[in-house]
Amino acid sequence: MKKKYEVWLPLLFSLVLIAGMFVGYRFSRSQPNTGFFTTTKGSSLQEALDIIRLKYVDSLKIDTLQSNAIREMMNELDPHSVYLPPVDVKETQEDLSGKFQGIGVEFNLIRDTVNITYVINGGPSEKAGLQIGDQIIKVDGQPLTGKDMTTTTIRNLIRGESGTKANLDILREGKTLPIEVIRGSIPTPSIVASYMVDTTIGYIKLDKFTSTSYREFMEKTEALKKQGMASLIFDLRGNGGGYMDQAIDIADEFLDGDKLVVYTQGTNSPKKEYRCKRPGIFEKGKVTVLVDELSASASEIVAGALQDWDRATIIGRRTFGKGLVQEMFPLSDGAALKLTVSRYYTPLGRSIQRPYDKGRKVYMDEVWNRFANGEAYFADSNKVSNGKQYKTPTGRILYGGGGIMPDIFVGLDTSKYSREIHKIFFSGSFNDFVFHYYLDNKSILAPYKTPAEYAKDFEPSTSMWSQFVVWAKRDTVNLSGVPALDKQRVEDRMEAALARFKWRDNGFYQVLNAKDPAVLKAIEVLTK
């Protein structure tokens, strides 16, 4: 009897299991979609797309329709949550990767023709023999001239996978030359300038927070310290942000102990703190941080942390006010959602995010309205307070709710350019002239060994201004009667722009900063 029971026992268990599954299935059909028995049900959006696909009178591109629907859905969220089509995903990732695949040149589209304005040292184009001033007429047989050509189109034709060939037709001194360039991986440094202002003050300008920013910062800081740097001007003006981890690591280098750098929190994201985790390379020594209305996100993390801990003097104008954290969520077709998942807060608990309850347009226009309502010019016009006060370790009172307000305000110059000067800058005529002037007068920079020496001794000649006046007339701009102040400003800009051809951005900023009010104020603060 016992043996018979043992033989039938497995079969009995199987029958009970099958019966239980059947009962459970029938039970779940009669219950709401909750708990263990949840079933997947298509959304109304998917149902609508399916009906349109099957029943619509005309043929249509369902992918485009779906993309537009997602965009409209994202428009109902915050201003920084966006839908990225596949091509934009690739560009976004490449922009912050610290490198790109291409031939290694910089170019300007001057009067419908691609002019090479810089050839990267050691890059594929330099190895192939390309020079500043060469004009690219064709790439792989594809013409690059004409009014319909855009910078984006040209960039896409020139760039390509590392190791592939780019067959260029180059116009040089009136002759067409065929040149083959093997594309490669081209680094794009995020630190565009670093130099010693004087024997003890260093200057670093960080353009954006890419995947290589922290490594670059360490290399530049170590180099400046070897040259005697005891104080630092850290320029984050125009820096729209990037990778948060890079900002945290850089802030860590200024702060000691395990100080809090930033924390994030959201409805579906629990609070997460980011603290210092290593001895910093510049925990001692005075620091000033330069900011403006285009300093955003990761820039505000750094500026906010150093301000909260009384570690740096913030100089400039109120920052953008972006305190939202985005994550990329890839979609099956190669597109992605860049979705806000939490807010970030400074060590004292300040939320830097500006209100966006009046819509995206009002939110974005607020930055430009600062120029119209006086905020960009006068400290008294700035109102940065959500009603809360925050006290730093030394007792200073700070406010949150709309960006980082600098400790020392340096507004824009209230004296405006004349209409004629605005026209030559916006038309591109200024850049065209400086480029061609350099090509015709390369020897003008030869006597100068360093940007500092050039900034001190170079004076634009009378003939240079005269040539510029004639050049501007080609764009129907009459400069013969512009105010003396405008003339001086344009000449200062010319001097800096010329320096770029020999010393790149490092030279450009070194010359421009010699008369920059915010930089001069930082020097004053650091030398007190």
In sequence order, the 6+-apart residues with CB closer than 8 A to the CB of 292 are: 237, 238, 316, 317, 319
How many other β-carbons are positioned within 10 Å of the β-carbon of residue 318? Answer: 24
Terminus-to-terminus CA distance in the chain, angstroms?
102
* Residues assigned a catalytic role: 297, 308, 322
Q: Who's near 417: CB < 8 A, 6+ residues apart? A: 425, 486, 489
State both tokens at 271: 């609070």
Q: What are phi and psi of 263, to 5 degrees?
A: -135, 155
Locus of tokens 């350099």? 438
Closest CA to 435 of 121, 109, 149, 154: 109
User: Which helix H or strand E contains 246, and what residues bound it?
Assistant: helix 244-252
Q: Which helix (H) or strand (E) holds 219?
A: helix 213-226
Maximum Cα–Cα distance across the chain: 119
**Residues 84, 340: contact at Cβ < 8 Å?**
no
Closest CA to 286 of 261, 305, 313: 313
- Provide the token pair at 460: 């634009």
Nearest to 203 by CA among 4, 451, 470, 397: 451
Tokens at residue 373, please?
A: 């309502």
The CB-based long-range contact list for 72-80 (8 Å cut-off, 24+ gap) reads 73/45, 74/337, 75/360, 77/339, 77/340, 78/324, 78/340, 78/356, 79/356, 79/360, 79/363, 79/364, 80/322, 80/324, 80/326, 80/338, 80/340
Tokens 């016992």 belong to which residue? Answer: 2
Please tell me the distance from the alpha carbon of residue 436 to that of residue 494, in angstroms, as a whole number: 12
Backbone angles phi, psi at 148, to 5 degrees: -85, -10
Q: In whole angstroms, what is the distance from residue 392 CA to residue 233 CA?
A: 22
Strands (E), 216-353: 231-235, 260-266, 269-275, 287-291, 313-316, 324-330, 336-345
User: How far is C-alpha 81 from the geometric centre of its chain's CA atoms?
Assistant: 16
